[in-house]
Amino acid sequence: MPPRSDEPRRDATGSRRGAVRGGTARGGEPRTGEPPATGPRTGESRTGEPRAGDVGGISDARAYTPRGRTIRESSEERGGQRRTPRAGRSGDPFRPALQVLDGGRAVANRAGRREAAPTRRTGVIRTVPPRAAPDDDEFAEPPAPRRRPGRTPPRRTDTPGRGAPRRTEAPRRTDRPAGRRPVRKPRRPPKLAEPRRRLRLGTVLVLAVFAVIGIRLVVLQAVDTPAYAGGGVGNRLSRIDLPAPRGSIEDRTGAPLARSIEARYVFADPTMVKDRTETAKLLSPLLGVPVSELAEKMKRQGELQFRYLARGVDIARAKQIEALDLAGIGTHRDERREVPGGDLAANLVGFTSLDLDGLEGLEARYDDLLRGQDGRWVYEAGAGDLNAAIPGGYSQTTAPKPGSSLVLTIDRDLQFQVQQILSRQMAQTRGAIGAAVVLDAKTGDVLAQASNPTYNAATPEQSRPTDREDAATSFVVDPGSVHKAITYGAALQEGVITPDSAWPVANTVTRGGVTFRDTHPAEGKKLSVAGMLAYSSNVGTIEIGDRLGPDRLIDYQKRFGLGQPTGEGMPGEASGRLLPADQWSGSSYGSVPIGHSVDATPLQMAAAYATIANDGTYVQPHLIKEVVGADGKRTPSAAPVTRSVLSPQNAAALRTLLEAVTTVDGATGRAAAVPGYRIAGKTGTGLRYVDGKQQPGEVGSFIGMAPAEAPRYVVAVFVWNPEGGGGAVVAPAFREMMGFTLRHYRVPPSRGKSPNFEVFPR
């Protein structure tokens, strides 16, 4: 007999026998006539309409709904194999109901054959919803439900049992033999995406990433390389300045007046000095600096690692300091300005700072030319203890370009003698200021230009600012009677007078309420022009000025170079001042012709006399002869400005008249005569004004030329003495200076004698 089924028997209608209406069947199946909890009600299709012949019952659900497939069964189907359940094991009686809820896909046994029971059951049965492959046969039937062994599957009826959910049967194939089990087509896994498309997309993305990286690398290597390389190298670069040697200042013969020599500077690193007091004691005798000052400089101040202890130290002394091997003390190459002559032409040359920046005189005026261009050494260096040039690393050296040298028109030997004479003559005065100028009458070269007081340019810090001024270009005075040569020259050129002119001269004359007197009164006698110059007659000169008129007098003042800087080359040269004709007062008609109400410098007045000596042609005085470049190329200075002021005949006539000053008995300039030479010149007594205020004392002056018959040199001496008596100094000083100049340049004595002048003609 077949094994007894655990299912209740079914009647003809397909319903179970023994089913309890209105109750719950075994396994928790829904009662007949009640709809399941999650499906449509019994007797209704999925569209909600009742189906004819439907009979409620759980057996229909079991007959037409396949059980769910386990993961293992699904895997077997995908592998093309279908295992047969082992016999003797009954299926799950409640699986059909669950399959109804899971979709109700069941296939009736078309041949009336019952499926063999599975041989074994897995420990865990998982229901996997079946998926229809897109390319499955539309007539393929779902897998048959698992049945318990020994039971005949219920017959399918057109009307499902009551209480069972309605399902749609797959159409029966009529072209296959009855009783044969349909052959199932293996189910293929669903296609998630097209592999080739994914491969192409991935390839494109990878190529795009590599392209971006490649382009960036090309940019970094080819375009941005200099910037990145420069930025990296910049952090490793060290720089050492290579100072350019400063050009020298030489006299006309090439002898140095100021030059730069190699030296050393001594420095301290306060962070490394161990015992600053003991270190200062060792350095003090070598540097000539007090111990307290050195110790203060070596005092630690934050992270400061460099302090100068001394500049311009001799190389030999620097080696002695290096031999001490003091912690935190070192030396390095330096440059020192050397002034071989000390105070020789110091007021002209000036001085520099410790950094060799021009501060005074020609050093300041031509600083850019003398300085040159510093060089530099830029190289890659390591860090820390390896702070040295990296072999094969970046290294670039810019050689320093030495400064150019100035060759002056100054004659060192003559300069020295003029300074000595001026200093010796002024030693008898107190608080006096003196200036002396020696000019070459033909070329305008300044052969000597001295000031007193002076200073040592090697140690300028020990002098006063007033001692460092160049009096020849900054000392503005009323020239006084030396100005009369300009008045007489203009009168000769304009035909107002002749060398033989003479007329009665009174002792005094009044202009604008001011009375002007003569120091050598003529008592109303006829006085020649030569006599007026010999005795420095104010009254006779004022009368010549009246004949000349203010406009013509001012015009000749300008032609002789007054009222404007000479452009000699010294910085800060004063221009002087001329009184315009429209500003003349009544007294100006008396003061201007005799050299008052006129501001001029000693150099301007010396240039005016050089015009007379040079046959009436003005030549601009100048100090710079030529410039010598670092390559030795010599560049002459620009040609001096020249202009005609007097005719050669009138200039020669004026020179002859000026000889009376040093030859006539009782003349004002007898003390200036140089034995063996004819001297033409003029004395003067003027005033000094500072900021428009008259200063006490007087300014004595003498300007002369020699030999008078053919002048070659002009010497001008000015001395301001606040106690008066400057005139007693200048004439003797002129005599010594002119005498040395004539001998120094080997000028032969004059062959003839000065003419005999008739002072009081009949």
Q: How far apart are CA 477 and CA 719, in angstroms?
A: 10
- Using only the alpha carbons of the chain, give its radius of gyration: 64
Residue 190: HSE in the Cβ half-sphere, 13 Å Cα cutoff: 6
Q: How far apart are CA 567 and CA 575, in angstroms?
A: 10
Give the active site residue among 451, 481, 528, 536: 481
Q: Which residues contact 197 (CB under 8 A, 6 or more apart)?
A: none
Q: How far apart are CA 412 and CA 257, in angstroms?
A: 8
Residue 535: HSE in the Cβ half-sphere, 13 Å Cα cutoff: 24
CA angle 431, 434, 437 (to 5 degrees): 170
Residue 302 CB-density burial (10 A; 0-12 exposed, 13-18 middle, 19+ buried):
exposed
Residue 37 corresponds to which amino acid?
A
> How does DSSP classify residue 299?
S
Q: How far apart are CA 562 and CA 620, in angstroms?
A: 12
Q: Give the largest Cα separation in the chain, rounded.
A: 198
DSSP-assigned states of every residue in 181-201: PPPPPPPPPP--S-HHHHHHH
DSSP-assigned states of every residue in 665-685: TT-TTGGG--TTS--EEEEEE
Residue 180 corresponds to which amino acid?
R
Q: Which residues contact 227 (CB under 8 A, 6 or more apart)?
A: none
Tokens of 146: 């698992």
| Among 85, 73, 215, CA closest to 148 | 85
Q: How far apart are CA 161 and CA 157, in angstroms?
A: 9
Bond before 134 cis per omega within 30 degrees: no
Please tell me whether residue 380 adopts helix, strand or coil conformation: strand
> How does DSSP classify residue 461?
G
| Among 540, 493, 499, CA closest to 516 | 540
Is residue 528 part of the annotated active site? The answer reads no
Pair 731, 702: CB distance under 8 Å:
yes
Q: How far apart are CA 419 and CA 435, in angstroms?
A: 9
Residue 685 CB-density burial (10 A; 0-12 exposed, 13-18 middle, 19+ buried):
buried
Q: Which residues contact 279 (CB under 8 A, 6 or more apart)?
A: 268, 273, 294, 295, 298, 326, 327, 328, 329
| Number of DSSP helices (H) and strands (E) in the chain, helices first | 22, 23
| Among 507, 502, 510, CA closest to 518 | 507
Altogether, the residues listed in the chain come to a count of: 762
Residue 456 corresponds to which amino acid?
N
Q: How far apart are CA 4 and CA 14, in angstroms?
A: 18
CB count within 10 Å of CB 354 equals 14
Pair 635, 726: CB distance under 8 Å:
no
If phi > 0 it is left, if psi is from -120 to 50 it is alpha, else beta; for residue 33 that is: left
Tokens of 189: 């896994």
Residue that the structure tokens 């003005």 belong to:
618
CA distances from 269 to 300, 313, 642 (A): 8, 18, 59
Sign of CA dihedral 581, 587, 592, 597: negative
Pair 27, 148: CB distance under 8 Å:
no
Q: Annotated catalytic sites, by residue?
A: 481
